[in-house]
């Protein structure tokens, strides 16, 4: 996999339930990590993913206190991921130009390089470079 574009859905506390539902409808098995499993003192899903037999990929998380207010319109973001670090960093640079960096693109606790940016049109993007060296 060189690169991948996926929807990233945010829920008000029922992301695991939503991923289970999508798995029943679309197939596949959700993979999840809670905020508590990551060491945070918060309930809910920090990150979940569903890969289906048809090749669909859905990412999801719950919103917790301290994150931006969850409302229709900001509960759907885009996620760029893969192992082509040069291309993904180029996308990051372009999206961040005249945008707002929420999480700098840097190595994270799960070992990948990750960042989040809101582009100049107000769309939130996650960029994850698998196996990248920061």
Q: What is residue 89's predicted lDDT score, i.e. its pLDDT? A: 95
Q: Quick check: 105 pLDDT over 50?
A: yes
- Between CA 127 and CA 5 the distance in angstroms is 10
Q: pLDDT of 1-29, one tens digit each? A: 578 889 999 988 999 999 998 999 889 99
pLDDT band of 134, cuts 50, 70, 90: very low
Q: pLDDT of 57-85, one tens digit each? A: 999 999 888 777 777 667 888 899 899 99
- Between CA 71 and CA 119 the distance in angstroms is 18
User: Residue 38 in 3-state DSSP?
Assistant: helix
């Amino acid at each position: 996999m060189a690169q991948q574009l996926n929807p990233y859905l945010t829920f008000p506390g029922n992301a695991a339930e939503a991923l289970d539902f999508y798995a029943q409808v679309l197939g596949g098995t959700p993979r999840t990590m809670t905020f508590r499993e990551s060491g945070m003192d918060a309930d809910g899903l920090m990150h979940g993913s569903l890969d289906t037999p048809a090749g669909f990929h859905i990412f999801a998380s719950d919103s917790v206190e301290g994150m931006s207010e969850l409302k229709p319109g900001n509960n759907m973001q885009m996620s760029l991921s893969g192992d082509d670090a040069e291309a993904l960093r180029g996308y990051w640079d372009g999206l961040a130009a005249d945008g707002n960096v929420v999480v700098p693109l840097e190595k994270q606790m799960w070992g990948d390089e990750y960042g989040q940016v809101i582009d100049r049109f107000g769309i939130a993007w996650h960029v994850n470079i698998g196996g990248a060296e920061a």
